[in-house]
Amino acid sequence: MANGDTTVSRLGQVNITSDVYSLFLKKFAGEVLTSFTTENIMMPLHTVRTISNGKSAQFPVTGTASAKYHTPGQNILDSGNSYLSQIRAGERVITIDNLLLSSTFIARIDEAMNHYDVRSIYSTELGRALAQKFDKTVLQVLSTTASVAEAFTGSGAGTTLNKGTAVRTGANLSAAVYEAAQTLDEKNIPSDGRFVVVKPAEYYALVQELSAPSKPSPVGSYVNGDVAVIAGIRIFKSNNLPTTNVNAGLIETGANTNYNGNFTNTVALVAHKAAVGTVKLLDLAIESEYQITHQGTLMVAKYAMGHGALRPECVVRITAA
């Protein structure tokens, strides 16, 4: 007996037999991953290690060797001849933080009534939230690493260049970056793998200083608003560079207090990718579940990672103090 119902073609269903949201989940997961990758700048700019289990990971830190001309007939293994290098060693241990997640709930009735697709919007926001949290945390660790003690005797500590408030101008900041590059050179930090992170205000001050059409040999593009490198170091702009006092009263429950610090005067971070490290226990993952009791879909994006200092000698913090 006809009851007025009709047969619906469900766009998210595979072969008319699977869950009606099966295809939507794949698209949603891909959009979250894409958004995380697009918004994140720090992942390729530091050392990342993945572990399958455990709560922490050890990062070995080694020193350098020496060289000496050999005198024919002398025993290289005789310590009295000083041919053998005693290479110092140390370690850094990075601990996994609590599970970090970004989630949302979509009521079935709301999704049915809505005239545009909200899942792509929500997936972008979930990915962006995790990417920003990741970048903020890594940049906080990078900034505090400039004040971390050397890993072992002679390995070197971080550097802070206090340049005063005038450093925020394009000319003075450019000069400070060159000074930071010189500092890294004098510590024998490799040129390959260096980077600079500044906030947009300082970035565009550099653009106007270095890329102006009036310059005989402009660096970057004044029209496009970009400056690629200073002193051979690639420049990145990010709102996630810490410039406030992040203390116990300003962080959420469960956060790692090792990431705290007073970053009020921070203007730029010049570093090498060996400066800090991240340990992944659970890489970025996405879960989705339709809940009958709530008549809607719960979507969760999450990861479990930890961050810490590795080689403080690879960091130069430029401040306006």
| Among 315, 285, 276, CA closest to 94 | 276
3-state class of 9 per DSSP? coil
pLDDT over 60 at 151, yes or no: yes
Sign for the pseudo-dihedral over CA of 312, 96, 285, 141: negative
121 vs 111: CA distance, rounded Å: 13
Question: At residue 95, what is the residue type?
Answer: T
pLDDT band at 51; cut points 50, 70, 90: confident
CB 158 within 8 A of CB 313: yes
pLDDT over 60 at 251, yes or no: no
What residue spans of 146-169 are helical by DSSP H?
none
29 vs 34: CA distance, rounded Å: 9
Look at the block and give the residue holding tokens 């400070």: 176
pLDDT over 60 at 65, yes or no: yes
197 vs 276: CA distance, rounded Å: 14
Cα→Cα distances 154→90, 127, 147, 315, Å: 11, 41, 16, 16
**pLDDT of 13:** 58
The CB-based long-range contact list for 220-225 (8 Å cut-off, 24+ gap) reads none
Q: What are phi and psi of 56, to 5 degrees?
A: -155, 170
CB 275 within 8 A of CB 46: yes
pLDDT band at 119; cut points 50, 70, 90: confident
Q: Which of 20-34, 98-112, 249-263 has the highest mean pLDDT?
A: 98-112
Q: Which of 69-73, 110-114, 247-251 has the lowest mean pLDDT?
A: 247-251
**pLDDT of 116:** 59
- Helix/strand/coil (H/E/C) assignment for every residue in 188-206: CCCCCCEEEEECHHHHHHH
Percent of all residues in the chain with a pLDDT value above 90, rounded to a whole number: 37
Tokens of 260: 């705290």
300 vs 295: CA distance, rounded Å: 16
pLDDT over 90 at 284, yes or no: no
**pLDDT of 109:** 81
**Which pTM does this prediction carry?**
0.80
Q: Which of 24-33, 136-145, 175-184 has the lowest mean pLDDT?
A: 24-33
Sequence spans of domains, the chain: 22-60+84-319
Query: What does the pLDDT look like over 177-228, one tens digit per residue?
Result: 999 999 999 999 999 999 999 999 999 999 888 876 767 667 778 777 778 7
Q: What are phi and psi of 150, to 5 degrees?
A: -60, 150
Please provide the average confidence, as pLDDT, over all residues in the chain. 83
Domain covering 22-60+84-319 assigned CATH 1.10.10 in the classification? no
pLDDT band at 242; cut points 50, 70, 90: very high
Tokens of 27: 């698209």
pLDDT band at 163; cut points 50, 70, 90: very high
pLDDT over 90 at 320, yes or no: yes
123 vs 38: CA distance, rounded Å: 13
